[in-house]
Amino acid sequence: MWTGIFSLLMLIGGFGMLAVLKLGFPVWILIKLVCWLILSGLAGMAYRRPASMFTWKAIAWAALLIAVATVYLKSNFE
């Protein structure tokens, strides 16, 4: 329950920051939103199927690396 609540607060905070900065909705935001959805979904799936922990960790690391790379490469997406 707590991971869902904090994940929702992160989403609201991120879109609030977009509104303040008046960036619109660039492509890099869409990529980071998909990464957020993947990471948010993994919390519940890892709890329900702990036997597949290696798979969940690999997916989480991939989503994190894509999200961080998007921050550094966001000028290429505009």
Angle between helices 53-72 and 27-48 (to 10 degrees): 160
Q: Interior CA angle at 75 toward 68 and 42, to 5°?
A: 25
Other CB atoms within a 10 A radius of the CB of residue 14 amount to 14
pTM over 0.95: no
pLDDT at 13: 81
- Tens digits of residue pLDDT in 30-74: 888 888 888 888 877 877 887 888 888 899 999 999 989 988 887
Domain boundaries of the chain, sorted by first residue: 2-76
pLDDT at 77: 66
